[in-house]
Amino acid sequence: MATTEENKQLVARVFDAFRAGDLDALDDLIAENYVQHNPQADNGLEAVKEFFRPVGPIDVDVHRVLAEGDLVVAHAHYKTWNMAGVDIFRIGTGGKIIEHWDVLQPVPETTVSGNDMFSQLS
């Protein structure tokens, strides 16, 4: 069984592949029978590739990553779409991502509180 640090590194490699537009790299990172909970995408590794193929490289900044057991959570700014996202990945015993959930929202120009979507108060 992989450590939480290894699971976090796996998710970091997924984001690296997205940034590079390297969908072939996903073969080593995502299981064939991957379960997708995003309502706009289908299940499976090939579905992930087909979803991202028309987009090309993705401009994304990951601001924080949390992990516990087989779950890794990433808080990211998907600049390509100007969306704030929280992705939850479940890692299988084979060392690949087997399940994914996400919550996405547009990044507003301003907020009532004056706080942005990504900074951390000190």
The pLDDT tens digits for 42-92 are 999 999 999 999 999 999 999 999 999 999 999 999 999 999 999 999 999
Q: Could you tell me the pLDDT band of residue 122, with boundaries at 50, 70 and 90?
A: low
Q: What HEC string does 69-84 produce?
A: CCEEEEEEEECCCCEE
Domains of the chain: which residue ranges? 4-106
What CATH code is assigned to 4-106? 3.10.450.50
pTM for this one? 0.94
Q: Please name the residue ranges forming H helices in 28-102.
A: 45-52
